[in-house]
Amino acid sequence: DAGVIQSPRHEVTEMGQEVTLRCKPISGHNSLFWYRQTMMRGLELLIYFNNNVPIDDSGMPEDRFSAKMPNASFSTLKIQPSEPRDSAVYFCASTLRDGRNQPQHFGDGTRLSIL
């Protein structure tokens, strides 16, 4: 079975450019999570969706960050304009919520470098 699929795997871009990260959750999963990981702050939850609806975006750093989930099989995280401090590894994870919190399964991540 295919796991969580993220693209691109690496992104290097200049400050001020728009960055779009993509995620395809595991088929049948109904919850999707976007995380950011840095050495200083560890793994931080940015936003999560249940049944394609954003539930909690309190972790989104500022208005430059936005996320969408137009259907059950696709989500995007967009940064516009990007800044050097956004450099990090961004992970997408998915799970099936069936009344109990099942484990989240992570994609391989997108390593983002903003110059």
Partner 1 sequence: QKEVEQNSGPLSVPEGAIASLNCTYSDRGSQSFFWYRQYSGKSPELIMFIYSNGDKEDGRFTAQLNKASQYVSLLIRDSQPSDSATYLCAVDVYNQGGKLIFGQGTELSVKP
Among 43, 80, 83, 84, which residue interacts with partner 1 (rule: CB under 8 A)? 43
Based on the shown chain and the rule CB under 8 A, indicate whether residue 109 belongs to the binding site for partner 1: yes
Write the single-letter amino acid at 34.
Answer: W
Based on the shown chain and the rule CB under 8 A, indicate whether residue 20 belongs to the binding site for partner 1: no
Based on the shown chain and the rule CB under 8 A, indicate whether residue 103 belongs to the binding site for partner 1: yes
**Residue 94 in contact with residue 26, Cβ under 8 Å?**
yes
Residues 6+ apart with CB under 8 A from 75: 22, 23, 24, 25, 32, 34, 49, 67, 68, 69, 92
Question: How many chain residues interact with partner 1 (CB under 8 A)?
Answer: 21
Which residues in this chain contact partner 1 in the complex, by CB under 8 A? Answer: 31, 33, 42-43, 45, 48, 50, 55-56, 91, 95, 97, 100-101, 103-109
